Amino acid sequence: MILILDFGSQYTQLIARRLRELNVYCEIHPWNKVPEYGEEVKGVILSGSPFSVRDEKAPRPDLSEIKGKLPLLGVCFGAQYMAHNFGGEVLPSSTREYGRANLSFVDQSHVLMQNVSHGSQVWMSHGDTIKILPDNFKVIASTKDVQVAAYYVEGEETYGIQFHPEVYHSLEGMEMLRNFVKDICGCKMDWTPQSFVEETVAELKEKLGDDKVILGLSGGVDSSVAAMLLHKAIGANLHCIFVDNGLLRKNEFQDVLESYKGMGLNVKGVDASSDFYSALSGVTDPEAKRKAIGKVFVDVFDEESKKVKDAKWLGQGTIYPDVIESVSVSGGPSATIKSHHNVGGLPDYMQLKVVEPLRLLFKDEVRRVGSTLNIPANILGRHPFPGPGLGIRILGEVTAEKVRILQEVDAIFINGLKEDGLYDDVWQAGAILLPVQSVGVMGDERTYENAVALRAVTSTDGMTADWCHLPYDFLSKISNKIINQVKGINRVTYDISSKPPATIEWE
Ligand code: XMP
């Protein structure tokens, strides 16, 4: 295992993803909250940071238990910190170094730089530069402007890289990371989705024994993969509950329930639509709607859970980006934790212990694990869909009739994307029912009906997003179909806002 100490760089997660791509297991921890580890740690990586090593508030980790004892690689800030801390000098660059550069010197005989070409393109992103190295630090790569682009420490397995080997624009960055984990740290590189499944199932068997586990399925990728892992470990002792909140896509409840049953899951479908519609009656404020939906969910889930006698555990599909403690940039080295509850938070009195089999995986890894578990592609490849569902895509009050109309519109749009091979190019898509009526003409008659907006975005994590440049012909076809087939809609618009400043959902 490789330990990555995070100093708040925007690229820290990318380092972890690259190592996972090399089939090496790694964990990210804030530099000031490192858990105790034993021999499983084969090496340590120090990330970059928004701080300069010369800032008063800059992180100052104590490396005495690591440096010289374990293989150690500092990236950007990590490299500068070691140079600065052990007798060298780091100063502001005369020219700030951002973007592409090429290695004008590479010591290919050095293990970290084996198979790295002369002239190799690397990605720089730093405002400081290492001017003087401590005596026992030796340069192994340079660019035209940055003499110390990479170094090693004599007599130790300690290395520094000034650029970012983890970003795609560092074209041979993966070679350097591979050299570090394979030849320097001696990692076996055998961490694959298949090995993850085997190890996790064995651990779950051990941990859960004959205990019963309850899990709320949502139809999404994470809860489905978590359920299959638990199912492999404990079979019928896993009790899944899939709640129809009346705010799902057209036919989704029945279709997904069938898929789950086909996967062998012990799943109970609960149609609670009318409870949700009653709770939403007269509610127009977006946050109030979310709260109302969340509360009914908890009540229904609680009621159903009680029917499973002696359940001890609550299974959740929490994934790694939700649990990584990120080093907060503005507040100095304090840490903020994103918490995540797929089931919207459960009352304390339920007193279930939580089991989260995916808490160490990134989203793409969840998909890879899912495909080794033979989960159907229609579940694995599905776009993200918000917990409150169509409830936050119907602006204003939600009624069963509005849900029905929006489901029709959404189905035409989503099926159209699938039929035209566009679905997988889009990160998320859906339709929004606007509280706007406008005049139209159909046949010889004047109409006064609702408008809908279509939204399709590209994104990697939903934090930022751009509107998708769907072909005009496709939009034209879908717009005609919607207006002709969905009674009550006479106008279709396409949302061309990016996030930020807009958001993906309208509420
Ligand atoms: P926004 O609208 O904030 O959405 O740009 C980002 C991503 O989060 C989803 N989303 C939600 N998911 N409960 C959820 O489970 C919610 O209340 C919620 N609000 C937004 C949204 O669909 C997008 O993928």
- Maximal CA-CA distance, the chain: 88
Gap from CA of 101 to ligand 1 centroid (Å): 38
The SS3 call for residue 501 is coil
Gap from CA of 128 to ligand 1 centroid (Å): 38
Q: Which residue has the higher pLDDT, 338 or 417?
A: 417
pLDDT higher than 70, residue 96: no
Q: Is the CB of 220 under 6 A from ligand 1?
A: no
- What is the pLDDT at residue 341? 38
Question: Residue 219, annotated ligand binder?
Answer: yes
pLDDT higher than 70, residue 339: no
Q: Which residue has the higher pLDDT, 55 or 364?
A: 55
One-letter amino acid for residue 185 of the chain: C
- Show me where the domains of the chain are located: 2-184, 194-380, 393-494
Render 103-160 in DSSP notation, one character per residue.
EEEE-TTSGGGTTPPTT-EEEEEEEEEEEE--TTEEEEEEESS-S-SEEEETTTTEEE
CA 341, chain centre distance (Å):
14
One-letter amino acid for residue 207 of the chain: K
- What is the pLDDT at residue 340? 34
Reported ipTM = 0.99
Concerning whether 110 is annotated as a catalytic residue, the answer is: no
Contacts of residue 208, Cβ cutoff 8 Å, sequence gap at least 6: 230, 233, 234, 237, 313, 355
Calpha distance 229→233 (Å, rounded): 6
One-letter amino acid for residue 406 of the chain: L
Q: Whose CA is nearest to atom 14 of ligand 1?
A: 386
Length of the chain: 507
CA 274, chain centre distance (Å):
33
pLDDT higher than 90, residue 334: no
Strands (E), 353-488: 353-355, 428-442, 445-458, 466-467
Contact between 79 and 162 under an 8 Å Cβ cutoff? The reply is yes
Q: Is the CB of 384 under 6 A from ligand 1?
A: yes
- What is the pLDDT at residue 460? 79
Concerning whether 198 is annotated as a catalytic residue, the answer is: no
pLDDT higher than 90, residue 37: no
Calpha distance 126→365 (Å, rounded): 30
Tell me if domain 2-184 and domain 194-380 are identical in fold.
Answer: yes
pLDDT higher than 70, residue 370: yes
Q: Is the CB of 340 under 6 A from ligand 1?
A: no
Nearest to 410 by CA among 486, 468, 466, 484: 486
Gap from CA of 151 to ligand 1 centroid (Å): 44
Calpha distance 102→114 (Å, rounded): 16
Q: Calculate what percentage of the chain has a pLDDT beyond 90.
A: 83
We find that the CATH architecture of domain 2-184 is: 3-Layer(aba) Sandwich (3.40)
Q: Is the CB of 246 under 6 A from ligand 1?
A: no
* pLDDT tens string 182-203: 999 999 999 899 999 999 999 9
- What is the pLDDT at residue 490? 97
Question: Residue 430, annotated ligand binder?
Answer: no
State whether CATH 3.30.300.10 applies to domain 393-494: yes
Calpha distance 482→434 (Å, rounded): 14
The SS3 call for residue 370 is helix
- What is the pLDDT at residue 114? 97
The one catalytic residue among 97, 126, 157, 164: 164
- What is the pLDDT at residue 336? 35
- What is the pLDDT at residue 89? 96
Q: Is the CB of 336 under 6 A from ligand 1?
A: no
Nearest to 456 by CA among 413, 404, 500: 413
Question: Residue 334, annotated ligand binder?
Answer: no
* pLDDT tens string 478-488: 999 999 999 99
pLDDT-derived band at 332, boundaries 50, 70, 90: very low
Contacts of residue 261, Cβ cutoff 8 Å, sequence gap at least 6: 267
pLDDT-derived band at 433, boundaries 50, 70, 90: very high
CATH fold, domain 194-380, is: Rossmann fold (3.40.50)
Concerning whether 118 is annotated as a catalytic residue, the answer is: no
Calpha distance 197→379 (Å, rounded): 18
- What is the pLDDT at residue 328? 60
- What is the pLDDT at residue 251? 96
pLDDT-derived band at 85, boundaries 50, 70, 90: very high
* pLDDT tens string 209-263: 999 999 999 999 999 999 999 999 999 999 999 999 999 999 999 999 999 999 9
Q: What are 4's strand-pairing partners? A: 28, 45
Radius of gyration of the chain from Cα atoms?
Answer: 26
Calpha distance 121→159 (Å, rounded): 19
Which of 341, 458, 505, 507 to probe ligand 1 with, by most ligand atoms within 8 A of CB?
505
Q: Is the CB of 462 under 6 A from ligand 1?
A: yes
